[in-house]
Amino acid sequence: MMKVFISAPLPEVTVEKIKAANLEVTMYSQETLITHNELLAAVKDVDFLITPLSTQVDKEIIDGAPNLKLIANFGAGFNNIDFNYARSKNIAVTNTPLVSTNSVAEVTLGLILDLSHRIVEGDTMMRTTGFPGWSPLFFLGHEIAGKTLGIVGLGNIGQSVAQKARALSMNVQYWQHHQLSDPQERSLGVKYVSMDELISTSDFISINAPLTDENFHQFNTDTFHQMKKTAALINVGRGPIVDEEALVTALRAGEIGGAALDVYEHEPKVTPGLTEMKNVILTPHIGNATVEARNAMGNIVAENVIAVANGQSPKYVIN
């Protein structure tokens, strides 16, 4: 019987689907993240490894699993895996794209609305000092209708964000290396601009791009100098795209209006200073943390494991 190791708790329906395929399943079920040494010990005789973004799968782990046939990443990203080295060992690496698109887009818009109407800040007030009562100039925020949203990375998630933002009467512009076709842009109601124009003219900037060598610290001291003083940065893409120390400095200096982060440069650690600011919203990487999205992601990894076990090709191979 071929063996499957799952390095973090997964939805029960996922585990049961794999077991039903006559595969031996072992799952790390502790509340803490699995350590490198624990993972190394667990994979020595497994055929399949299912792992979330929080588990690093490096050369040592891959070399320590001589029977490994597939690394199924539970997430759309895959920068936690040395996928090029896995390819050199003829080990396929898969991810779970598309199914988390709507959830991440909803969270993106939720963070924009939270920042604009100071919802989290207001909740904190009500749970601590309370408020003196309604008055015309008390606790004012801003409406997002008519504001300009700049999206960095107009893939599936970015496009879903654009559609939802347009439904809320926002103006949407975007930048990425390749411009969409004219029919696509007209369908989405978006405008392609240069990165410099997006940074300097957007009221909100949403990072919805994957991490690459090129966009590491794409948002840095110079970027924040270019942004409007009232603009807000939202990062639901990947943490290292933002230089968080530079972000703290810019926020403290009043160079930008606020920020909302769901991913972090040194995740799960938060850069000191961010937790002290009222105009910053911090969420614990919940972009696709819905029952619907996680079950769909689980279904993909289960089907990929079963496919390879049956001598078939998996879907969404990234290497």
Residues acting as catalytic residues: 238, 267, 285
**Which residues, in sequence order, are bridge partners of residue 6?**
27, 50
Say which residues have a Cβ less than 8 Å from residue 318's Cβ, sequence separation at least 6.
78, 83, 93, 94, 95
Two tokens at 3?
A: 């063996």
Q: What is the DSSP string of the chain?
A: --EEEESS---HHHHHHHHTTT-EEEE---SSPPPHHHHHHHSTT-SEEEEETTS-B-HHHHHT-TT--EEEEESS--TTB-HHHHHHTT-EEE---STTHHHHHHHHHHHHHHHHHTHHHHHHHHHTT------TTTT-----TTPEEEEE--SHHHHHHHHHHHHTT-EEEEE-SSPPPHHHHHHHTEEE--HHHHHHH-SEEEE-----STTTT-BSHHHHHHS-TT-EEEE-S-GGGB-HHHHHHHHHTTSSSEEEESS-TBTTB--TTGGG-TTEEE--S-TT-SHHHHHHHHHHHHHHHHHHHTT-PPSSB--
